[in-house]
Amino acid sequence: MDYRTIGKDPKTRRDVSVLSLGAMLFGTRTDEATSFEILDRYVEAGGTFVDTSNNYVFWENGDQGGQSEALLGRWRRSRGVGPEIVIATKLGARPLAPGTSYIDNPEGLSAKVIRESAERSRERLGVDKLDLLYAHIEDPTIPVQETVEGFAGLVAEGTVGLLGVSNHWTWRVERARTIAAARGLPGYEVLQYSHTYLRPRYDLRGDLSPDGNQGAVGGDLLSYLRAEPSLTLVAYSPLLGGRYVRDDKPMGLEFDHPGTPRRMKALGEVAKETGATVNQVVLSYLIGGPLPVIPLVGASSVAQLDESLGAVDLKLSADQRARLDAAY
Protein backbone atom coordinates (compact mmCIF):
# COMPACT_ATOMS: atom_id res chain seq x y z
CA MET A 1 0.00 0.00 0.00
CA ASP A 2 1.11 3.56 -0.67
CA TYR A 3 0.23 6.55 1.48
CA ARG A 4 -0.44 10.25 1.12
CA THR A 5 -0.63 13.13 3.59
CA ILE A 6 -3.91 15.03 3.88
CA GLY A 7 -3.93 18.41 5.59
CA LYS A 8 -0.97 20.66 6.25
CA ASP A 9 -1.22 21.56 9.94
CA PRO A 10 1.07 19.22 11.92
CA LYS A 11 -1.59 19.08 14.65
CA THR A 12 -4.32 17.66 12.39
CA ARG A 13 -2.75 16.29 9.20
CA ARG A 14 -2.86 12.54 8.65
CA ASP A 15 -1.15 9.98 6.47
CA VAL A 16 -3.76 7.85 4.70
CA SER A 17 -3.71 5.09 2.13
CA VAL A 18 -4.00 6.19 -1.51
CA LEU A 19 -7.10 4.02 -1.86
CA SER A 20 -10.06 4.85 0.36
CA LEU A 21 -12.83 2.38 1.21
CA GLY A 22 -16.44 3.53 1.07
CA ALA A 23 -18.72 2.05 3.72
CA MET A 24 -21.96 3.52 2.38
CA LEU A 25 -23.89 0.25 2.06
CA PHE A 26 -22.34 -1.50 5.05
CA GLY A 27 -25.01 -2.51 7.53
CA THR A 28 -27.85 -2.36 5.02
CA ARG A 29 -27.48 -3.78 1.53
CA THR A 30 -24.16 -5.38 2.54
CA ASP A 31 -24.76 -7.49 5.65
CA GLU A 32 -22.67 -7.14 8.78
CA ALA A 33 -20.60 -10.30 8.38
CA THR A 34 -19.63 -9.42 4.81
CA SER A 35 -18.96 -5.81 5.76
CA PHE A 36 -16.60 -6.91 8.52
CA GLU A 37 -14.79 -9.26 6.12
CA ILE A 38 -14.27 -6.42 3.63
CA LEU A 39 -13.05 -4.03 6.32
CA ASP A 40 -10.70 -6.64 7.74
CA ARG A 41 -9.22 -7.36 4.33
CA TYR A 42 -8.78 -3.65 3.62
CA VAL A 43 -6.84 -3.13 6.85
CA GLU A 44 -4.82 -6.30 6.26
CA ALA A 45 -3.74 -4.84 2.91
CA GLY A 46 -2.60 -1.62 4.56
CA GLY A 47 -5.74 0.45 4.00
CA THR A 48 -6.26 3.22 6.53
CA PHE A 49 -8.92 5.56 5.08
CA VAL A 50 -12.60 4.62 5.50
CA ASP A 51 -15.48 6.85 4.37
CA THR A 52 -19.07 7.13 5.53
CA SER A 53 -21.81 9.71 6.22
CA ASN A 54 -24.50 10.36 8.79
CA ASN A 55 -27.22 9.87 6.15
CA TYR A 56 -26.06 6.48 4.78
CA VAL A 57 -28.29 5.02 3.68
CA PHE A 58 -31.66 6.60 4.31
CA TRP A 59 -33.02 5.50 0.94
CA GLU A 60 -32.74 1.79 1.74
CA ASN A 61 -35.26 1.71 4.57
CA GLY A 62 -37.00 5.05 4.24
CA ASP A 63 -35.44 6.34 7.45
CA GLN A 64 -32.78 8.97 8.15
CA GLY A 65 -29.66 6.85 7.79
CA GLY A 66 -26.88 6.24 10.30
CA GLN A 67 -26.56 2.48 9.74
CA SER A 68 -23.12 2.74 8.13
CA GLU A 69 -21.66 4.79 10.98
CA ALA A 70 -23.18 2.41 13.54
CA LEU A 71 -21.70 -0.63 11.80
CA LEU A 72 -18.27 0.99 11.70
CA GLY A 73 -18.59 1.64 15.41
CA ARG A 74 -19.33 -2.03 16.07
CA TRP A 75 -16.45 -3.09 13.82
CA ARG A 76 -14.02 -0.75 15.59
CA ARG A 77 -14.99 -2.09 19.01
CA SER A 78 -14.91 -5.75 17.98
CA ARG A 79 -11.48 -5.43 16.34
CA GLY A 80 -9.90 -3.01 18.78
CA VAL A 81 -9.32 -0.51 15.97
CA GLY A 82 -7.47 2.59 17.11
CA PRO A 83 -6.51 5.97 15.66
CA GLU A 84 -4.38 4.39 12.95
CA ILE A 85 -7.55 4.01 10.87
CA VAL A 86 -8.86 7.37 9.66
CA ILE A 87 -12.65 7.41 9.44
CA ALA A 88 -14.20 10.28 7.50
CA THR A 89 -17.86 11.14 7.80
CA LYS A 90 -20.19 13.85 6.51
CA LEU A 91 -23.12 15.91 7.71
CA GLY A 92 -25.62 18.27 6.15
CA ALA A 93 -27.55 15.88 3.91
CA ARG A 94 -29.35 13.82 6.52
CA PRO A 95 -33.13 14.02 6.00
CA LEU A 96 -34.93 15.83 8.78
CA ALA A 97 -37.67 13.20 8.87
CA PRO A 98 -38.12 9.59 7.76
CA GLY A 99 -39.55 9.22 4.30
CA THR A 100 -37.99 12.45 3.06
CA SER A 101 -34.67 13.12 1.31
CA TYR A 102 -31.70 15.46 1.25
CA ILE A 103 -33.14 17.09 -1.87
CA ASP A 104 -36.31 18.45 -0.31
CA ASN A 105 -35.70 18.18 3.45
CA PRO A 106 -32.00 18.26 4.44
CA GLU A 107 -30.69 19.05 7.90
CA GLY A 108 -28.43 21.72 6.39
CA LEU A 109 -25.27 23.40 7.66
CA SER A 110 -26.33 25.71 10.48
CA ALA A 111 -24.02 25.95 13.51
CA LYS A 112 -26.64 24.10 15.58
CA VAL A 113 -26.88 21.22 13.11
CA ILE A 114 -23.11 20.98 12.76
CA ARG A 115 -22.64 20.62 16.51
CA GLU A 116 -25.54 18.23 17.11
CA SER A 117 -24.95 16.02 14.07
CA ALA A 118 -21.23 15.76 14.73
CA GLU A 119 -21.98 14.62 18.27
CA ARG A 120 -24.40 11.95 17.03
CA SER A 121 -21.79 10.74 14.51
CA ARG A 122 -19.18 10.43 17.25
CA GLU A 123 -21.63 8.40 19.31
CA ARG A 124 -22.45 6.01 16.45
CA LEU A 125 -18.79 5.61 15.52
CA GLY A 126 -17.74 5.26 19.14
CA VAL A 127 -15.00 7.88 18.94
CA ASP A 128 -14.10 10.98 20.90
CA LYS A 129 -12.82 12.73 17.78
CA LEU A 130 -13.89 12.68 14.15
CA ASP A 131 -10.74 12.39 12.04
CA LEU A 132 -12.25 14.14 9.01
CA LEU A 133 -15.65 15.81 8.81
CA TYR A 134 -17.17 16.97 5.51
CA ALA A 135 -19.90 19.44 4.68
CA HIS A 136 -21.87 17.01 2.53
CA ILE A 137 -23.98 19.36 0.39
CA GLU A 138 -24.49 23.10 0.05
CA ASP A 139 -26.90 24.97 2.27
CA PRO A 140 -27.74 28.29 0.58
CA THR A 141 -30.12 29.19 3.42
CA ILE A 142 -27.30 29.63 5.94
CA PRO A 143 -24.59 32.33 5.79
CA VAL A 144 -21.24 30.80 4.83
CA GLN A 145 -19.63 32.48 7.83
CA GLU A 146 -21.93 30.61 10.22
CA THR A 147 -21.02 27.28 8.65
CA VAL A 148 -17.29 28.08 8.68
CA GLU A 149 -17.41 29.10 12.34
CA GLY A 150 -19.52 26.07 13.26
CA PHE A 151 -16.98 23.63 11.86
CA ALA A 152 -14.02 25.59 13.22
CA GLY A 153 -15.51 25.51 16.71
CA LEU A 154 -15.43 21.72 16.72
CA VAL A 155 -11.79 21.70 15.62
CA ALA A 156 -10.93 24.15 18.40
CA GLU A 157 -12.63 21.87 20.94
CA GLY A 158 -10.68 18.86 19.68
CA THR A 159 -13.73 16.84 18.63
CA VAL A 160 -12.88 17.15 14.91
CA GLY A 161 -9.51 16.96 13.17
CA LEU A 162 -9.58 17.85 9.48
CA LEU A 163 -12.40 19.58 7.61
CA GLY A 164 -13.65 18.67 4.16
CA VAL A 165 -16.32 19.64 1.67
CA SER A 166 -18.32 17.69 -0.88
CA ASN A 167 -20.73 18.55 -3.68
CA HIS A 168 -20.25 22.33 -3.56
CA TRP A 169 -19.63 24.71 -6.41
CA THR A 170 -15.98 25.72 -6.55
CA TRP A 171 -16.77 29.37 -5.83
CA ARG A 172 -18.50 28.39 -2.60
CA VAL A 173 -15.49 26.33 -1.52
CA GLU A 174 -13.19 29.26 -2.19
CA ARG A 175 -15.50 31.70 -0.39
CA ALA A 176 -15.62 29.49 2.69
CA ARG A 177 -11.84 29.03 2.71
CA THR A 178 -11.29 32.76 2.27
CA ILE A 179 -13.57 33.56 5.22
CA ALA A 180 -11.80 30.97 7.36
CA ALA A 181 -8.34 32.30 6.43
CA ALA A 182 -9.36 35.90 7.12
CA ARG A 183 -10.46 34.94 10.64
CA GLY A 184 -7.54 32.63 11.36
CA LEU A 185 -9.84 29.60 11.42
CA PRO A 186 -9.31 26.12 9.99
CA GLY A 187 -10.91 25.66 6.58
CA TYR A 188 -11.72 22.87 4.17
CA GLU A 189 -8.64 20.85 3.19
CA VAL A 190 -10.14 17.71 1.62
CA LEU A 191 -12.57 17.91 -1.30
CA GLN A 192 -14.76 14.91 -2.15
CA TYR A 193 -16.41 14.88 -5.58
CA SER A 194 -17.51 12.45 -8.25
CA HIS A 195 -14.51 11.88 -10.52
CA THR A 196 -13.29 9.18 -12.87
CA TYR A 197 -11.37 8.67 -16.11
CA LEU A 198 -14.33 9.32 -18.39
CA ARG A 199 -15.47 12.91 -18.70
CA PRO A 200 -19.16 13.62 -18.03
CA ARG A 201 -21.40 16.12 -19.77
CA TYR A 202 -21.76 19.37 -17.89
CA ASP A 203 -24.89 20.63 -19.64
CA LEU A 204 -27.24 18.40 -17.65
CA ARG A 205 -29.34 19.63 -14.75
CA GLY A 206 -28.19 18.34 -11.35
CA ASP A 207 -30.31 16.99 -8.49
CA LEU A 208 -29.75 20.13 -6.45
CA SER A 209 -29.20 22.85 -9.04
CA PRO A 210 -30.57 23.88 -12.44
CA ASP A 211 -27.02 24.99 -13.31
CA GLY A 212 -25.68 21.44 -13.41
CA ASN A 213 -24.17 18.85 -11.13
CA GLN A 214 -22.04 20.58 -8.52
CA GLY A 215 -20.90 17.17 -7.28
CA ALA A 216 -18.95 16.34 -10.45
CA VAL A 217 -15.38 17.47 -11.04
CA GLY A 218 -15.17 20.00 -13.86
CA GLY A 219 -12.46 22.17 -15.33
CA ASP A 220 -12.94 24.92 -12.76
CA LEU A 221 -12.38 22.56 -9.85
CA LEU A 222 -9.38 20.87 -11.49
CA SER A 223 -7.84 24.28 -12.12
CA TYR A 224 -8.51 25.28 -8.51
CA LEU A 225 -6.83 22.13 -7.19
CA ARG A 226 -3.76 22.68 -9.34
CA ALA A 227 -3.48 26.20 -7.93
CA GLU A 228 -3.91 24.94 -4.34
CA PRO A 229 -1.58 21.92 -4.00
CA SER A 230 -2.21 21.66 -0.25
CA LEU A 231 -5.78 20.49 -0.97
CA THR A 232 -6.64 16.83 -1.53
CA LEU A 233 -9.23 15.47 -3.95
CA VAL A 234 -11.07 12.30 -2.92
CA ALA A 235 -12.93 10.84 -5.91
CA TYR A 236 -16.17 9.04 -5.20
CA SER A 237 -17.75 6.64 -7.74
CA PRO A 238 -14.45 6.31 -9.67
CA LEU A 239 -15.63 3.00 -11.17
CA LEU A 240 -19.13 4.29 -11.95
CA GLY A 241 -20.84 1.54 -10.02
CA GLY A 242 -19.52 -1.15 -12.35
CA ARG A 243 -20.50 0.58 -15.57
CA TYR A 244 -16.99 0.31 -17.04
CA VAL A 245 -17.24 -3.48 -17.21
CA ARG A 246 -20.91 -4.48 -16.95
CA ASP A 247 -23.07 -4.62 -20.05
CA ASP A 248 -26.21 -4.59 -17.89
CA LYS A 249 -25.23 -1.15 -16.56
CA PRO A 250 -25.16 1.30 -19.48
CA MET A 251 -23.27 4.56 -19.10
CA GLY A 252 -26.41 6.65 -19.49
CA LEU A 253 -26.96 10.22 -20.62
CA GLU A 254 -24.16 11.65 -18.47
CA PHE A 255 -21.51 10.02 -20.67
CA ASP A 256 -23.41 10.11 -23.95
CA HIS A 257 -20.96 12.10 -26.07
CA PRO A 258 -18.28 11.33 -28.71
CA GLY A 259 -15.40 11.28 -26.23
CA THR A 260 -16.66 8.27 -24.29
CA PRO A 261 -16.03 5.54 -26.91
CA ARG A 262 -12.58 6.97 -27.65
CA ARG A 263 -11.65 6.90 -23.97
CA MET A 264 -13.09 3.40 -23.54
CA LYS A 265 -10.97 2.21 -26.46
CA ALA A 266 -7.82 3.68 -24.91
CA LEU A 267 -8.66 2.06 -21.58
CA GLY A 268 -9.08 -1.32 -23.20
CA GLU A 269 -5.75 -1.04 -25.00
CA VAL A 270 -3.85 -0.14 -21.84
CA ALA A 271 -5.58 -2.87 -19.86
CA LYS A 272 -4.53 -5.43 -22.47
CA GLU A 273 -0.93 -4.17 -22.45
CA THR A 274 -0.62 -4.29 -18.68
CA GLY A 275 -2.60 -7.46 -18.05
CA ALA A 276 -4.74 -5.46 -15.61
CA THR A 277 -8.48 -5.03 -15.56
CA VAL A 278 -10.14 -1.92 -16.94
CA ASN A 279 -11.17 -0.98 -13.40
CA GLN A 280 -7.58 -1.24 -12.20
CA VAL A 281 -6.37 0.99 -15.02
CA VAL A 282 -8.95 3.63 -14.08
CA LEU A 283 -7.86 3.62 -10.44
CA SER A 284 -4.15 3.63 -11.29
CA TYR A 285 -4.73 6.54 -13.67
CA LEU A 286 -6.31 8.58 -10.86
CA ILE A 287 -3.77 7.64 -8.18
CA GLY A 288 -0.65 8.28 -10.22
CA GLY A 289 -1.52 11.43 -12.14
CA PRO A 290 0.16 14.84 -11.93
CA LEU A 291 -2.84 15.94 -9.87
CA PRO A 292 -2.93 13.19 -7.21
CA VAL A 293 -6.36 11.79 -6.47
CA ILE A 294 -7.48 9.38 -3.76
CA PRO A 295 -10.12 7.10 -5.28
CA LEU A 296 -12.96 6.13 -2.95
CA VAL A 297 -14.07 2.63 -3.88
CA GLY A 298 -17.03 0.60 -2.74
CA ALA A 299 -17.09 -3.18 -2.48
CA SER A 300 -19.80 -5.73 -1.78
CA SER A 301 -17.34 -8.63 -1.57
CA VAL A 302 -13.72 -9.27 -0.70
CA ALA A 303 -13.09 -10.24 -4.34
CA GLN A 304 -14.26 -6.80 -5.53
CA LEU A 305 -12.03 -5.11 -2.98
CA ASP A 306 -9.04 -7.22 -4.00
CA GLU A 307 -9.42 -6.08 -7.60
CA SER A 308 -9.31 -2.45 -6.48
CA LEU A 309 -6.35 -3.09 -4.18
CA GLY A 310 -4.45 -4.49 -7.15
CA ALA A 311 -4.52 -1.04 -8.75
CA VAL A 312 -2.17 0.38 -6.13
CA ASP A 313 0.75 -1.65 -7.49
CA LEU A 314 -0.11 -0.93 -11.14
CA LYS A 315 2.20 1.80 -12.43
CA LEU A 316 1.27 3.14 -15.85
CA SER A 317 4.09 4.18 -18.16
CA ALA A 318 4.45 7.75 -19.36
CA ASP A 319 3.39 6.64 -22.85
CA GLN A 320 0.30 4.81 -21.58
CA ARG A 321 -0.74 7.79 -19.48
CA ALA A 322 -0.18 10.15 -22.43
CA ARG A 323 -2.42 8.01 -24.64
CA LEU A 324 -5.13 7.91 -21.99
CA ASP A 325 -4.93 11.69 -21.66
CA ALA A 326 -5.05 12.24 -25.41
CA ALA A 327 -8.26 10.26 -25.96
CA TYR A 328 -11.15 12.76 -26.26
Cis ω before 57 (30° cut-off from 0): yes
pLDDT digits (tens, 9 = 90+) for 24-39: 999 999 999 999 999 9
- As a whole number of angstroms, the distance between CA 113 and CA 165 comes to 16
pLDDT digits (tens, 9 = 90+) for 93-150: 999 999 898 888 999 999 999 999 999 999 999 999 999 999 999 999 999 999 999 9
Instruction: Identify whether the C-beta of residue 160 lies closer than 8 Å to the C-beta of residue 129.
Output: yes
| DSSP secondary structure, 178-224, as one string | HHHHHTT-----EEEEE--SSPPPSSSPPSS-TT--TTB--HHHHHH
Report which residue type is found at 34. T
Q: Maximum CA pair distance of the chain?
A: 54
CATH code, residues 3-250+278-317? 3.20.20.100
Q: What residues does each domain of the chain span?
A: 3-250+278-317
- Is residue 328 over pLDDT 90? no
The conformation of residue 292, written as its DSSP 8-state character, comes to: -
Predicted TM-score (pTM) of this structure: 0.95
Question: What is the structure's pLDDT at 207?
Answer: 81
- As a whole number of angstroms, the distance between CA 60 and CA 10 comes to 39
Closest CA to 236 of 35, 24, 86, 6: 24
pLDDT digits (tens, 9 = 90+) for 205-259: 888 788 888 899 999 999 999 999 999 999 999 999 999 999 899 998 999 999 9
Question: What is the structure's pLDDT at 111?
Answer: 98
- Is residue 301 over pLDDT 90? yes
